[in-house]
Chain A
Amino acid sequence: MNLFCVGISHHTAKVETRERYGLQRSEEVLRTESGCDEALILATCNRVEVYGSAVATVATDRLTDCLVRDGAKTAEDAGIFYRYEGEECIRHLFRVVSGLDSMVIGETDILGQVKKSYANARESGSVGPHLHRLFQRAFRVAKQVRTRTEITRGAVSVGSVAVELAVKIFGDLRNRKVLILGAGDTSERTARALSSRGVTDIRVSNRSFERAESLAAVVRGRAISFHEWSKQCVEVDILISSTAAEEPLLRPDVLTPMMRERSDRPLFIIDIAVPRDVAPEVNEIDGVFLYDIDSLQAIAEESLALRRHQIAAAEEIIAGHVTDFRALVGIPSESPGPQAAVSHRALDEAAFRASQL
């Protein structure tokens, strides 16, 4: 029995190309049309892959034809598909579920996406004993990589860093109150990230009340008049500030009396405005934790660097499982074949950056 994987990902194709491929037909149809014995389609925003098993070799074209949307396959698309067979296929799947092949190294969404694809394929009856064993092992590998390394550690975006910091200060965020001062995109994303962790009391204040109302509607909060924001500071736990003010709105002389009224509750201030809305000296006040956009981004970069350091440890765990699984299913050991090396042609740096954007 031959295990193989054919696909495209953010490594090999830009988003304009990737969006022309996807889950067009059920695995059952793909299986019968391509001649696979078992098949599973993994389609996410960053990759479209078919995992299959077959006694006879299944041509890559037959599989990619089943993935193309509305017959939009072009001649240039031929080189963007990679194909992994046997041991390399096992290794590739283990790397994918562990987040090593993701755009953001160590991201955990991919595991859920693979599990969902697997469940769908099982439901449609296109997963047999070979893919079942392969994917069950892959889930085990992902769990081990997550628990034994720090590959998933740390937040890697401004919004998630803000959430991580809020958790370090307050623990449970469910009963926390958030004030958004100035309705910008980053404020909105940060508020959404906090909302996803259970924050329900979100107040939005902006010079334009209409804009405050529209953002409040988006984040399921309530709009507050801009004149009232300083009064709100006494009540809220988290302040996200991003106004276009030329001078700092919050200075130690303004905040110190407010802190006395707060019964020693900490105040987490996220200042994402440029120029800054909050004077840096505010961070010296007891119970105030001030982070500006640079400090948030520095933490995100640091997390990403930390994750990169964990790749070797994760690869080691994966290698052990690949050897073990290969022996279990009786696949001969092999080095990456020329086909894989040629077909997995990475995007050049400029194209990759464009793809990320």
Chain B
Amino acid sequence: MDRQLLIVATLCYFTAVVHTLVAVRDRISRPRRFNFFAIGLGFLFQFAFLSVRGHALGRCPLTNLFEVFIFLAWSVALIYLLVGPAYRLSLMGAFTAPLVFALQTFALIAPIDVPHQARLPANPWLEFHASMSMVAYGAFALACVAGVMYLVQERQLKTHQMHSVFSRLPPLTSLFAAITRLLWLGFALYTAGLIGGFFTGGPLPRVKMICAFGVWLFYGAILQGRHLHRLAPKRVAVLCVLGFGAAVSVLWAINFVSQSRPT
């Protein structure tokens, strides 16, 4: 039942991806509204999946890599739905839908939905730590999306290609403002999640701590470099893209290492 909800959610994102591709091919100017509703619908089905799974587990559904990926995809959609309309960045949905679709498709196809043998009691601090970190990852993912959009737009402007399929990308300054705000949002949520980790009561695994602080320091360094004007906007965009790739790898590693102990 829960996987079926997830398949429907994935189909919603797939519809958004197809609609974007058709709009880009036909040079239709406003795919934004359709994408927003398709992603919104996908988000609701993801939420239903997480609720069913969470009810069955009796805790926040972050017990294996499969659930982590679904929670991450849900967080990306959540941040998009929250910040997308506020920033009025055209085509952000067009870039977000493929990312969420890829995350969910991978989660559905890969044999990573391994149920935990031991049913652990709910730990509010542990769940706060894990869920805040995941939502922070959602913000970092959106910063990565905005970073890709920035780099595409910058390239178009440098090479004088103004009539490509991505000619309706938002202005560079708006994209950079969005990147900076998303980084701050993600960093604040991640910091809160890290602090929450210290109150879980159990022993703190060394590898997890190192990885988590590595991610925290990386994004902190980007923000500090930006604050001191040591990092040019283009470099910030590149670091957002590379950083998110690295952060997802770290997330994978953390969950791989701690297979014996759910987050």
Q: Which residues of A contact B (CB under 8 A)?
A: 147, 150, 153-154, 164-165, 167-171, 263-264, 266, 283, 286-287, 289, 291, 295, 298-299, 302-303, 306
Interface string of B157-169 (1 = CB under 8 A from A): 1101011000001
Q: Is the CB of A303 within 8 A of B232?
A: no
B23 to chain A, nearest CB (A): 12
Q: Is B250 an interface residue (CB 8 A)?
A: no
Q: How far is the CA of A168 from the CA of B173 in the complex (A)?
A: 9
Interface pairs A-B: 5 shortest CB-CB? A171-B171, A295-B160, A171-B174, A289-B157, A286-B232
Is the contact region of chain A dominated by helix, strand, or loop, or is it mixed?
helix
Cβ contact of A165, chosen from B157, B169, B234, cutoff 8 A: B157
Q: Is B153 an interface residue (CB 8 A)?
A: yes
How many A-B contacts at CB < 8 Å in the complex? 53
Beyond known contacts A147-B29, A167-B171, A264-B229: 4 more, CB 8 A cutoff:
A153-B29, A168-B171, A286-B232, A303-B163
Q: How far is the CA of A113 from the CA of B9 in the complex (A)?
A: 49
Contacts of A154 in B (CB 8 A): 162-163
Q: Is B208 an interface residue (CB 8 A)?
A: no
Q: Is B233 an interface residue (CB 8 A)?
A: yes
Is the contact region of chain B dominated by helix, strand, or loop, or is it mixed?
loop
Contacts of B192 in A (CB 8 A): none
- Scoring B27, B170, B173, B229 by chain A CB atoms within 10 A of each residue's CB, the highest score goes to B173
Interface string of B170-187 (1 = CB under 8 A from A): 111110000000000000
- Scoring B162, B171, B233, B234 by chain A CB atoms within 10 A of each residue's CB, the highest score goes to B162
Q: Is the CB of A306 within 8 A of B229?
A: no
Q: Is the CB of A169 within 8 A of B171?
A: yes
B170 to chain A, nearest CB (A): 7
Contacts of A299 in B (CB 8 A): 160, 162-163
Q: How far is the CA of A191 from the CA of B38 in the complex (A)?
A: 43
- Taking A286-B234, A287-B233 as contacts, is the C-beta distance between A266 and B160 under 8 angstroms? no
Interface size class of chain B, counting residues whose CB lies under 8 Å from the partner chain? 10 to 19
B150 to chain A, nearest CB (A): 11
Cβ contact of B172, chosen from A266, A303, A306, cutoff 8 A: A266
A311 to chain B, nearest CB (A): 14
- Taking A150-B27, A154-B163, A286-B234 as contacts, is the C-beta distance between A168 and B172 under 8 angstroms? yes
Contacts of B234 in A (CB 8 A): 286-287
Cβ contact of B229, chosen from A171, A263, A291, cutoff 8 A: A263
Q: Is the CB of B172 within 8 A of A169?
A: yes
A245 to chain B, nearest CB (A): 23
A150 to chain B, nearest CB (A): 5
Q: Is the CB of A287 within 8 A of B232?
A: yes
Contacts of A150 in B (CB 8 A): 27, 29
B56 to chain A, nearest CB (A): 47
Q: How far is the CA of A167 from the CA of B233 in the complex (A)?
A: 17
Contacts of B163 in A (CB 8 A): 154, 299, 302-303, 306
Interface string of B15-49 (1 = CB under 8 A from A): 00000000000010110000000000000000000
Contacts of B171 in A (CB 8 A): 167-171
A–B complex contacts, Cβ < 8 Å, 9 sampled: A147-B29, A165-B162, A170-B171, A170-B173, A264-B232, A286-B232, A289-B158, A291-B160, A302-B162
Q: Is the CB of B173 within 8 A of A171?
A: yes
Contacts of B172 in A (CB 8 A): 168-170, 266
Q: How far is the CA of A313 from the CA of B62 in the complex (A)?
A: 51
Which residue of the partner chain A has the closest CB to B29? A150
Q: How far is the CA of A9 from the CA of B162 in the complex (A)?
A: 32
Q: Is the CB of A169 within 8 A of B173?
A: yes
Q: Is the CB of A169 within 8 A of B29?
A: no
Q: Is the CB of A169 within 8 A of B174?
A: no
Q: How far is the CA of A264 from the CA of B173 in the complex (A)?
A: 11
Q: Is the CB of A266 within 8 A of B158?
A: no
Which residue of the partner chain A has the closest CB to B169? A168
Q: How far is the CA of A70 from the CA of B173 in the complex (A)?
A: 56
Q: Is the CB of A168 within 8 A of B153?
A: yes
Contacts of A295 in B (CB 8 A): 160
Interface string of B224-258 (1 = CB under 8 A from A): 00000100111000000000000000000000000
Q: Is the CB of B232 within 8 A of A266?
A: no
A71 to chain B, nearest CB (A): 49
Q: Is the CB of A164 within 8 A of B158?
A: no
- Scoring A154, A165, A167, A171 by chain B CB atoms within 10 A of each residue's CB, the highest score goes to A171
Q: How far is the CA of A334 from the CA of B174 in the complex (A)?
A: 53
Contacts of B153 in A (CB 8 A): 168
- Taking A168-B153, A169-B171, A170-B171 as contacts, is the C-beta distance between A283 and B158 under 8 angstroms? yes
- Taking A299-B162, A302-B162 as contacts, is the C-beta distance between A168 and B232 under 8 angstroms? no
Which residue of the partner chain A has the closest CB to B162? A299
Interface string of B186-227 (1 = CB under 8 A from A): 000000000000000000000000000000000000000000
Q: How far is the CA of A176 from the CA of B169 in the complex (A)?
A: 20
Which residue of the partner chain A has the closest CB to B236? A264
B48 to chain A, nearest CB (A): 35
Contacts of B170 in A (CB 8 A): 171
A257 to chain B, nearest CB (A): 15
Q: How far is the CA of A266 from the CA of B237 in the complex (A)?
A: 15
A291 to chain B, nearest CB (A): 7
Contacts of B174 in A (CB 8 A): 171
Q: How far is the CA of A164 from the CA of B156 in the complex (A)?
A: 13
Contacts of B162 in A (CB 8 A): 154, 164-165, 168, 299, 302
Which residue of the partner chain A has the closest CB to B27? A150
Contacts of B233 in A (CB 8 A): 264, 266, 287
A178 to chain B, nearest CB (A): 16
